[in-house]
Amino acid sequence: MEKKNIDWGNIGFGYIPTDYRFVSKFKDGKWDEGELTTDPNVVLNECACVFQYAQTVFEGMKAYTTEDGHIVTFRPDLNAERLANSAKRLEMPVFPEDRFVDAVVKTIKANEAYVPPYGSGATLYVRPYMFGSNPVIGVKPADEYQFRILTTPVGPYFKGGAKPITIRVTDFDRAAPHGTGHIKAGLNYAMSLHAIMDAHRQGYDENMYLDSATRTKVEETGGANFIFVTKDGTVVTPKSSSILPSITRRSLIYVAEHYLGLKVEEREVYLDEVKDFAECGLCGTAAVISPVGKIVDHGKEICFPSGMEEMGPTTKKLYETLTGIQMGRIEAPEGWIKVIE
Ligand SMILES: Cc1ncc(COP(=O)(O)O)c(C=O)c1O
């Protein structure tokens, strides 16, 4: 298959339309068969539930080319499960998890020409999403829905290597209230827009959100979970019912324990103890792990010993092992890699 003529090393994280997207419609209590379409536009009634009451959920995953030339995606069953949980919380019908995986495979295959080559650092970002599509005016769930998958090639997250970033502790809440922080609903991201723009205006790369009840415990950032390393090499990651259950974090925990023989603690992490950690990173699909050099808590600076120049040693080992698994250089645990072609 001939690849599109794209300068893979120089694309950013933006939307570049590809040839095909998947769409399945829910009407009269059931999902239709679904199909690939070439039309990137969605036409909806002005009163569609998604516009009025933000009834929309989504997922984010990637397809990439492995060292031996296969196109693969990483643990799509976990994205299917998380989308189902998000949908249930917003009173939306679940798109069956096996059909989700089939549709992801079909959409990636149809856009094979846009899957960046091995070694380019670029990947094909895959965005499954669902929304309430029929008009409602009283506050209630829609009766009709669309499940869609769009894809777009994205460039390497870090050009010229991962440089540690600076984070501030924020007084804003990341998610909409009522304990919805564990779902990937559009409304949570809308809630975070002001906080992230405010952080950028103040010169910070990201926000560290605290638990809204006591404001003493570390939750996550606007788009990634935290992972810390203690001075004696234990991996520590916050446990909370109001953070997004990151697939990258769950995979890193497994890698730490089973590939690197590290001790892992998933527990409540207090802001007060962050100063004692040796390394800090953010984990998510976009960058796998991005190192954090400094956290600023209302003017008080916490600097990690690994500094602002490069990843700490344990963070680096975790990063290299997980990306090695994803790119086919290291053998993956059973079921982690879904081969598309
Ligand atoms: C709020 C939030 N936390 C964490 C993550 C990381 O999750 P994953 O590793 O599944 O990409 C994301 C990624 O989309 C996110 O939006």
Sort 4 into a burial class: Cβ within 10 Å, 0-12 / 13-18 / 19+. Answer: middle
pLDDT at 217: 97
Nearest Cα residue to 8 out of 119, 108, 151: 119
Q: Phi, psi at residue 336, to the nearest 5°?
A: -80, -30
Cβ atoms of 75 and 126 closer than 8 Å: no
Please give the pLDDT value at position 307.
Answer: 83
Report strand pairing: 165-169 vs 337-339: unpaired
140 carries an active-site annotation? no
Residue percentage of the chain with pLDDT more than 90: 91
DSSP for 12-32, please give it: -SS----S-EEEEEEETTEE-
Amino acid at 101: V
**Choice among 106, 109, 184, 338 that is catalytic:** 184
Note the residue count of the chain.
341
DSSP string, 42-80: ----TTBHHHHH--EEE--EEEEE-TTS-EEEE-HHHHH
75 — pLDDT class (breaks 50, 70, 90): very high
Nearest CA to ligand 1 atom 2: 223
**Of 223, 224, 279, which Cα lies nearest the Cα of 249?**
224
Would you state the pLDDT for residue 161? 73
Question: Ligand 1 centre from 97 Cα, in Å?
Answer: 19
Q: Which atom of ligand 1 is nearest to the CA of 174?
A: 1
Instruction: Quote the DSSP letter at residue 220.
Output: B
- Sequence-distant (6+) residues with CB within 8 A of 233 are 262, 263, 314
Give the closest residue to 77 by CA, choosing from 103, 57, 56: 103
Segment 124-133 shows an average pLDDT of 98
Cβ(151) to ligand 1 under 6 A? no
CA 13 to centroid of chain Cα atoms: 13
Are residues 144 and 134 in contact, defined by beta-carbon separation less than 8 angstroms?
yes
- Tell me the pairing of strands 165-169 and 288-297: parallel
Average pLDDT over residues 249-278: 98
> Which protein residue's CA is at the shortest distance from atom 14 of ligand 1?
223
- Specify the pLDDT at position 1: 76
Find out whether 240 and 211 touch, Cβ atoms under 8 Å: yes
pLDDT for 308 equals: 85
Query: Which atom of ligand 1 is closest in space to residue 181's alpha carbon?
Result: 1
Specify the pLDDT at position 179: 79
CA–CA dist 221, 186 (Å, integer): 16
Candidate from 246, 285, 326 with most ligand 1 atoms within 8 A of CB, to mutate: 246
Q: What is the pLDDT of residues 200-243, one digit of tens each?
A: 999 999 999 999 999 999 999 999 999 999 999 999 999 999 99
